[in-house]
Chain A
Amino acid sequence: MTTLLSLKGIEKSFGGLAALSGISFDVRPGEIVGVIGPNGAGKTTLFNVITAVFPPTAGEVEFDGERISGLPSHAITRRGVTRTFQNIRLFSAMTVEENVMVGRHCRTGSGVWRGVLGTPGQRREEAGIRRKTAELLDLVGLSGVDREGIAGSLPYGHQRRLEIARALAAEPRLLLLDEPVAGMNDAETQDVFGLIKRVQSLGVTILLIEHDMSLVMKACDRLVVFNFGRKIAEGTPARIRDDPQVIEAYLGAAEGTADA
């Protein structure tokens, strides 16, 4: 299998407004693919279509050779696609640890009775959840944080990392990161870059929305560029950097061609 995620002619319109039109591209296993484009280009909409926050108007999403568009969100997570959100969406009233533990839900199975009775199997499972949670907090660089502290009171950068830990808890094969370094300074951005590379080295494929071009150019194997809901370019960072259409989308057209 040479493609992990395959988007085929994705269309999404809200009322009469086309937010995405004719989006097709593939993501290969092990890659880091960046999705870039000006604000409002449809990048987050694409993530929402892939994770079934809403269905595409037309087109199909295939993951690992199987069609996943039409499945509910939790089933897609179970298949191995998880995400973070542009505006962090932690369970802020829960503890740091619990946030990650919730992410283990689809990889564990204790139901009501086993939970209430505390059977040996259930206790083993809980211990496993806690062990995995500790590992993940360590991986994202939160091992020094009070695990029983409230997630909502963590500093902003830590919240972003915690959200990544929660997404990793479901053991994804494809991780969708929506602006993981938005609002961070250079040092923090460097840390997150290191984290993304570490996650990749664990065998997780990454689709990344990001505005920080230095990060995108460094981290990504390939880039897909969106503008006004269309894919306008796709290729290696070096090629995208010199693509006249991309430059036009970001900087505007050169004089004389603007009204063409």
Chain B
Amino acid sequence: MEWLNPYHLQVASFVLINAILGVSIYITLSTGQLSLGNAGFMSIGAYTAALLSTQHHLPIPVGILAGSLLAGVAGVLVGIPSLRLTGVYLAIATLGFGEVLRAVLINWESLTGGAVGVAAIPQMGRVILAWAGDRGFSPESLGLQGNQFISLAVFLILLLSTILSVAFFLRLSRSRVGRAYSAIRLDESAAAAAGIPITYYKVMAFSQGALLSGFAGALFAHSTSFVSPGDFTYHRAVEILVFAVFGGSEHIFGPVFGAAFLTVMPEALRFVSEYRYILYGILLVLMMTFRPQGVIDPPLMRAVRRMRKGRTE
């Protein structure tokens, strides 16, 4: 069980949180809206969950649920006035929202702890270990050390959360609502003429993206047990966007792949130390030049499906 070390599991956990963030930007993009506010919505989820568990001692699932829902509500409130904006203007407005929110987190010290952030947030893995320990369970019975068990528990919770999120939106994208989203992205006025209420679905997609970002943020808070405004900067917003740009924004697996690849790559390239960010940059430029739609696009997915069909027949 040597390979199952907390470092690998932590990288895997970040992959999963980033994958959920990638799905969150994909949802808003699937109605043709480019939102860079997801780092901001993530901070709403993270701080809500963190403060509810540290100050009000509420159970972790309650905090995660509340954080996600509050981020979703914030999504509706930001989404409605943003409807008049499209393309780069929407991107700028939502980026501005994220920065304003971060300024609030830094300055509202009595609530948020200011620039220092919130520490000692109950960590999911530790809480589970303590709970199981009270009932006479010992991780050694599985051949695991305590910290291995903690990291593994966090990883499994995140894996389940990611699978549920992806499955939810994959199924949604194949339903009546998903068709409405694509129609809006492809041609808004033709979609309206086909009987689709544009405003309703755009706000809904925006809010779903916000909710999922908040969910990722709440999971993040309870995985790292520490959040600060520095976790939700402009860099985070752009990082989430890059998942979708690199992985592909026209299929849900695109940003999931992008998140996984771009999270693992800098870790895998640690041996070239500082040069790895140069490689990262070169990779992005090459992608823009040779495959601007991202690694995964619908024709690729169709080819994969056809191949699988061919094999089973």
Whether both chains belong to one complex is answered with yes
Question: Does B191 make an interface contact (CB < 8 A)?
Answer: yes
Q: Is the CB of B177 within 8 A of A74?
A: no
In angstroms, how far is the closest chain B Cβ from the Cβ of A168? 11
Q: Which residues of A contact B204 (CB under 8 A)?
A: 112
| Contact residues of B between 264 and 285, Cβ < 8 Å to A | none
Q: Which residues of A contact B298 (CB under 8 A)?
A: 93
Query: B3-11, B47-55, B137-145, B193-201: which one contacts chain A?
Result: B193-201
Minimum CB distance partner of B197 in chain A: A74
Q: Which residues of B contact A89 (CB under 8 A)?
A: 187, 189-190, 193
Question: Does A166 make an interface contact (CB < 8 A)?
Answer: yes
Q: Is the CB of B186 within 8 A of A74?
A: no
With an 8 Å Cβ cutoff, the count of chain B residues facing the other chain is: 28
With an 8 Å Cβ cutoff, the count of chain A residues facing the other chain is: 41
Give A78 to B174 CA distance when docked, in angstroms.
Answer: 23
| Contact residues of A between 8 and 56, Cβ < 8 Å to B | 51, 53
Q: Is the CB of B195 within 8 A of A170?
A: yes
Interface string of A70-102 (1 = CB under 8 A from B): 001111011000110100011111100010011
Question: Does A118 make an interface contact (CB < 8 A)?
Answer: yes
Question: Does A6 make an interface contact (CB < 8 A)?
Answer: no
Q: Is the CB of B175 within 8 A of A102?
A: no
Q: Which of A72, A92, A106, A115 contacts B175 (CB 8 A)?
A: A115
Give A90 to B183 CA distance when docked, in angstroms.
Answer: 9
Q: Is the CB of B187 within 8 A of A91?
A: yes
Give A75 to B197 CA distance when docked, in angstroms.
Answer: 8
Known: A74-B195, A77-B195. A94 touches B186 (CB 8 A): yes
In angstroms, how far is the closest chain A Cβ from the Cβ of B163? 14
| Contact residues of B between 158 and 177, Cβ < 8 Å to A | 168, 171-172, 174-177
Q: Which of A92, A102, A116, A118 contacts B194 (CB 8 A)?
A: A102
Residues of A in contact with B (beta carbons under 8 Å apart): 51, 53, 72-75, 77-78, 82-83, 85, 89-94, 98, 101-108, 110-112, 114-116, 118, 122, 125-126, 129, 166-167, 169-170
Residue contacts A-B, CB under 8 angstroms, 28 given = A73-B189, A74-B192, A77-B192, A77-B193, A77-B194, A77-B195, A82-B195, A90-B190, A91-B187, A93-B182, A94-B183, A98-B182, A102-B183, A102-B196, A103-B195, A105-B176, A105-B195, A106-B196, A108-B176, A112-B172, A115-B171, A115-B176, A116-B175, A118-B171, A122-B175, A129-B176, A167-B194, A170-B194
Residues of B in contact with A (beta carbons under 8 Å apart): 168, 171-172, 174-180, 182-183, 186-187, 189-199, 204, 250, 298
Given contacts A73-B189, A77-B195, 16 further A-B contacts (CB under 8 A): A73-B193, A74-B195, A75-B197, A82-B194, A83-B193, A90-B190, A91-B187, A93-B186, A93-B298, A98-B179, A104-B176, A105-B194, A112-B177, A114-B175, A116-B172, A169-B194
